């Protein structure tokens, strides 16, 4: 088949639109031919043949001039030197808009080559269909690509075929374009399941040879019966397509032999009331199959499809499926939304008046509007994998890569979605070329550029400001790393002093040699452990110098200062723990919403959680649910087990207030009476102390860890800030395990 000529295209349009703007069509033809120049397609044909074929497919749908021109131009901006500005100058704003929409989809198409991006592409596909005609050109473009798919390298074929069957065919169906949908499915099916396609096609041939004449008999039989009652009708018999047969076999898990309706008949009449008369005659002539009658005339499908469906047991004892409809209904069933996308006059390129909008188009419009408002659109896409999440925004990197984010996302989320390193080093953002705060809420279509500075660590406060889990986890991890760095620095100071007192040199290499004895894998681990007080400097010194005498206990000088009230003589390296006989909250009464089942509930060991914390429940199947505050570092251990995470909230009863466990850690100066000051402050502020443990990491300081119970986060914060005021306390932190 040679390339379509200019005059052929114009002739096709004139057949259904005598007022077409021939000069406009000719200009578009020449412009696109020049732009594409000598580009070739995979088949060896000139590239320019493709846009023409796409335009030709659209003439079968009898579309307006603007759509045909957009089809001819649809690849120019992406693949040639042409620009949108040039297209607007030459062809006007309406056609520019259509071409721009197609170029955007084209960009995504390239993006969607990565399977994960395919998801985003689906969602965006509808989001940018401002004008139904963009979608029609896109569907015709896909149809032509599918017809010539055998020229594409085999490794790409499958991806294109799968995308067709999952996205484009359902979309065509959703828009009511049955013919187009069936052809797309058929072409894709052939590539996705070649064996199944071949087998079913062969079986269909056999059945047709055996029973083909029955089709003719039923056609004439029906015509005669209807004519006797004075009904003018056209009757067409047709064989089902292999794909719809295969789908039915899969869906109902039946064999080919058990399939009843391989043949279908269409009865086309003049008026809607004739449809019901035909139905009556058919049901009086042949027994109907119960449960197979559907009336889509009184309640049309979402995509405007109207028909009566029924299945009867025909003359040869085989089941026959009938669709009864008027000529107008038939046109909508074939062309769907394209039947409405025709414009009153070929020259006006305005969008159809609201009254003429088909329901499928209204649906699409509504979808786009909802996408803008973010309400919950009911009844999205029945029976398709095409989901359009109203709660997403689609943004681009400067290179055009698509990033889908939840609504409310900020450039920080965007940065982490691109790559963890980009997020960790982000210091600023440009949105659509303008500098914007990192906390700006992103909108659909924003192009976001992140400014980075190496050596940055994300502020811990970001964690509560981002909306994506990925960003939250990464910020938490980065914060942990930064905190660890601080602890390691502190640990190094403590060890330097300890080695100095033992009068032995301290180097990282010596420490490295002793790692095995300390059961740690890296020098940093030892430093951080000492800084946190998990490991004592004396043990490290002895691990590095096993021959060292144990430190002599100081005796005489300790008596100089008699221990004050609440002061425990605590020597360096010793630790002291005591638990008070206090009630801790019972697990049976933890007021948490979002839990089902009878598993006991407990709080995260080593830190607990208090109302005011955002909390997560982690399920240990068969055992218990543990409640953690959202900022708990322990949660990282469950990152790869999302099925264990429960969405839980506090469920408090003002009438029965309750205390909750929390842990604080403070660093106090070693002087008489300091512990008394601490405990008194907590008691005065209505905190209950459950347990205290003390470690004296250096001669000057004591680390005190206190488990207490409080009413809520506000209460806990008040106690902490009160403690920070005390001169004897150098540091107070809440501990979240």
**Distance (Å, whole) CA 407 – CA 626:** 30
pLDDT of residue 443: 80
Q: Quick one: pLDDT band at residue 267, thresholds 50, 70, 90?
A: very high
- How do residues 525-550 score in pLDDT, each as one tens digit? 888 888 777 777 888 888 888 887 66
| CA separation for the pair 125, 296 (Å, rounded) | 28
Strands of 561-684, DSSP E: 575-579, 592-593, 601-603, 615-620, 624-629, 645-647, 649-650, 660-669
Lowest mean pLDDT among 157-171, 426-440, 624-638: 157-171
User: Helix, strand, or coil here: 198?
Assistant: helix
What does pTM read for this prediction? 0.47
Q: What is the SS3 assignment for 402-429?
A: EEEEECCCCHHHHHHHHCHHHHHCEEEE
**Which residues is 710 bridged to in the sheet?**
660
Q: Which of 401, 681, 712 is nearest to 704 (CA)?
A: 681
Q: Which residues of 514-644 form beta strands (DSSP E)?
A: 575-579, 592-593, 601-603, 615-620, 624-629
pLDDT surpasses 80 at 284: yes
Q: Is 78 a catalytic residue?
A: yes
Looking at every residue in the chain, the average pLDDT score rounds to 77
Active-site residue identified among 60, 79, 86, 221? 79
Backbone angles phi, psi at 154, to 5 degrees: -55, -35
Are 706 and 664 in contact by the 8 Å Cβ rule? The answer is yes
Q: Which domains does the chain have, with CATH numbers?
A: 6-192 (1.10.3210.10), 198-336 (3.30.460.10), 392-456 (3.10.20.30), 468-550 (no CATH), 576-735 (3.30.70.260)
The pLDDT of residue 378 is: 28
One DSSP character per residue, 503-527 reads T----HHHHHHTHHHHT-SSHHHHH
pLDDT of residue 670: 73
Average pLDDT over residues 5-26: 87
For 10-57, give the DSSP string: HHHHHHH-TT--HHHHHHHHHHHHHHHTT-B-TTSSBTTHHHHHHHHH
**Confidence at residue 580, expressed as pLDDT on a 0 to 100 scale:** 58
**Cβ contact 223:259 at 8 Å:** no
User: What distance lies between CA 192 and its chain's CA centroid?
Assistant: 25
Residue 642 binned pLDDT confidence (cut-offs 50, 70, 90):
confident
**45 is known as an active-site residue:** no
**Is residue 379 pLDDT above 50, yes or no?**
no
Decide if pLDDT at 562 tops 80.
no
* Residue 306 CB neighbour total at 10 angstroms: 21
CA distance 208 to 490: 86
CB 633 within 8 A of CB 476: yes
Choose the catalytic residue: 45, 78, 179, 217: 78
Alpha carbon 388 to its chain's center: 10
Q: What are the tokens at 149?
A: 């798919």
What pLDDT is recorded for position 151? 84
Residue 411 has pLDDT above 90, yes or no: yes
């Amino acid at each position: 088949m040679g390339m379509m000529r200019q005059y052929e295209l114009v002739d096709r349009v004139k057949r259904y639109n005598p007022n077409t703007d021939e000069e406009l069509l000719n200009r578009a033809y020449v412009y696109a031919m020049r732009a594409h120049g000598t580009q070739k397609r995979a088949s060896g044909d000139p590239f320019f043949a493709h846009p023409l074929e796409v335009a030709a497919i659209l003439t079968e749908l009898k579309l307006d001039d603007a759509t045909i021109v957009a089809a001819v131009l649809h690849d120019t901006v992406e693949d040639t030197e042409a620009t949108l500005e040039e297209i607007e100058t030459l062809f006007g704003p309406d056609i520019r808009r259509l071409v721009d929409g197609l170029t955007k989809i084209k960009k995504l198409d390239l993006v969607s080559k990565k399977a994960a991006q395919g998801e985003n592409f689906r969602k965006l596909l509808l989001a940018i269909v401002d004008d139904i005609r963009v979608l029609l050109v896109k569907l015709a473009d896909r149809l032509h690509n599918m017809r010539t798919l055998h020229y594409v390298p085999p490794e790409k074929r499958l991806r294109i075929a799968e995308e067709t069957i999952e996205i484009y065919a359902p979309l065509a169906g959703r828009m009511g374009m049955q013919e187009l949908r069936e052809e797309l499915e058929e072409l894709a099916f052939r590539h996705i399941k070649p064996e199944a396609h071949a087998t079913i096609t062969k079986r269909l041939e056999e059945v047709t040879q055996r029973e083909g004449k029955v089709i003719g008999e039923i056609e004439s039989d029906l015509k005669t019966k209807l004519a006797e009652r004075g009904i003018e009708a056209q009757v067409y018999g047709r064989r089902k397509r292999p794909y719809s047969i295969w789908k039915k076999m899969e869906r109902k898990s039946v064999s080919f032999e058990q399939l009843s309706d391989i043949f279908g008949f269409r009865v086309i009449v003049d008026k809607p009331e004739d449809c019901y008369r035909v139905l009556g005659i058919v049901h009086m002539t042949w027994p109907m199959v119960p449960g197979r009658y559907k009336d889509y005339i009184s309640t049309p499908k979402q995509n405007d499809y109207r028909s009566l469906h029924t299945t009867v047991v025909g003359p040869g004892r085989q089941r026959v499926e009938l669709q009864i409809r008027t000529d107008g209904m038939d046109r909508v069933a074939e062309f769907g939304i394209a039947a409405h996308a025709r414009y009153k006059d070929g020259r006006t390129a305005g969008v159809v008046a609201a009254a003429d909008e088909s329901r499928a188009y209204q649906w699409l419009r509504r979808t786009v509007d909802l996408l803008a408002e973010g309400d919950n659109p009911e009844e999205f896409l029945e029976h398709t994998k095409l989901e359009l999440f109203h709660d997403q925004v689609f943004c681009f990197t400067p290179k055009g890569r698509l990033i889908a984010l939840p609504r409310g996302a900020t450039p920080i989320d965007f940065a982490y979605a691109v790559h963890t390193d980009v997020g960790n080093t982000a210091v600023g953002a440009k949105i659509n070329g303008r500098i914007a705060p990192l906390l700006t809420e992103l909108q659909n279509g924003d192009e976001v550029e992140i400014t980075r500075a190496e050596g940055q660590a994300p502020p811990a406060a970001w964690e509560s400001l981002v909306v994506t889990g990925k960003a939250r986890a990464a910020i938490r991890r980065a914060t942990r790393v930064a905190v660890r760095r601080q602890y390691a620095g502190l640990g190094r100071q403590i060890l330097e002093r300890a080695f100095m007192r033992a009068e032995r040199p301290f180097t990282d290499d010596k420490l490295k040699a002793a790692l095995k004895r300390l059961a740690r894998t890296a020098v940093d681990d030892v430093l951080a452990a000492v800084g946190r007080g998990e490991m004592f400097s004396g043990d490290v010194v002895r691990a590095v110098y096993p021959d060292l005498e144990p430190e002599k206990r100081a005796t005489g000088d300790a008596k100089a200062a008699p221990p004050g009230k609440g002061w425990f003589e605590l020597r360096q390296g010793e630790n002291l723990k005591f638990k008070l006989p206090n009630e801790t909250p019972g697990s049976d009464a933890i007021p948490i919403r979002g839990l089902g089942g009878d598993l006991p509930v407990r709080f995260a060991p080593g830190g607990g959680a208090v109302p005011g914390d955002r909390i997560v429940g982690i399920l240990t199947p068969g055992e218990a649910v543990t409640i953690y505050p959202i900022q708990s570092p322990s949660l990282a251990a469950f990152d790869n087990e999302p099925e264990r995470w429960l969405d839980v909230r506090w469920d408090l009863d003002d009438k029965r207030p309750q205390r909750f466990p929390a842990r604080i850690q403070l660093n106090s100066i070693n002087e008489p009476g300091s512990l008394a000051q601490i405990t008194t402050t907590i008691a005065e502020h209505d905190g209950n102390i459950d347990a205290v443990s003390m470690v004296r990491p250096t001669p000057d300081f004591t680390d005190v860890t206190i488990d207490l119970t409080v009413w809520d986060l506000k209460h806990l914060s008040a106690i902490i800030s009160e403690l920070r005021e005390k001169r004897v306390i150098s540091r107070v932190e809440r501990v979240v395990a």
